[in-house]
Chains A and B, each alone.
Chain A
């Protein structure tokens, strides 16, 4: 069974450009989480999509946005890139959100570098 897959593995952009990151959850998983891991910092919660809807977002500016497609894959868009957006972006999926989160399955991440 394939795990959570993210693409691209690495992405290099210049300040002001837009970046698009993609995530395919494990087959049968309907809920996708996005996290940002900047150098020296822990994982910061970005966005949560469940059944095609944005359910929750972290403390990030509106230029961080995304969506979830009918096949439950997800896309994270970062507009007007800034140098501090350079980070590892991790996607994780769970089968379905219940009252309490269970085990999250993580992808290998997209390393975004903003020059």
Chain B
């Protein structure tokens, strides 16, 4: 089945700095989802990317999908303490009828 690898595993950035989180798939991506999780809580949907080259933005968060590279990136501009949490990418494990997730990237934003 499909596996997703995220990098970096953890990240500490100073408030106001930009950052990028990557998600690489072991198989062709047919849909890529980004979620945010506050520690010990459920997942909040951020964005869904379905087509190669697609790019979506929500407030200061932008995600891109590179189908050829089987990769997606999540970019945060001018980070704020409210951006802190765990970011997870998920993909439809086509044929296995389930959504698989990466291991997550823990983000801390220092004031």
Listed in ascending order, the chain A residues whose CB lies under 8 Å from chain B are 4, 33, 35, 41-43, 45, 48, 55-56, 58, 88, 90, 92, 97, 100-109, 111
Contact = CB atoms under 8 A, between A and B. Distances in A.
Nearest to B9: A40
Interface in B56-111: 88, 90, 92, 94, 96-104
B98 to A, nearest CB: 5
Interface of B: 30-31, 33, 35, 40-45, 48, 88, 90, 92, 94, 96-104
B105 to A, nearest CB: 11
A105 B33 CA distance: 12
A48 B97 contact: yes
A9 B102 CA distance: 24
Given A33-B98, A45-B98, A102-B48, 8 more contacts: A41-B103, A88-B40, A92-B43, A100-B30, A101-B99, A104-B90, A104-B99, A108-B42
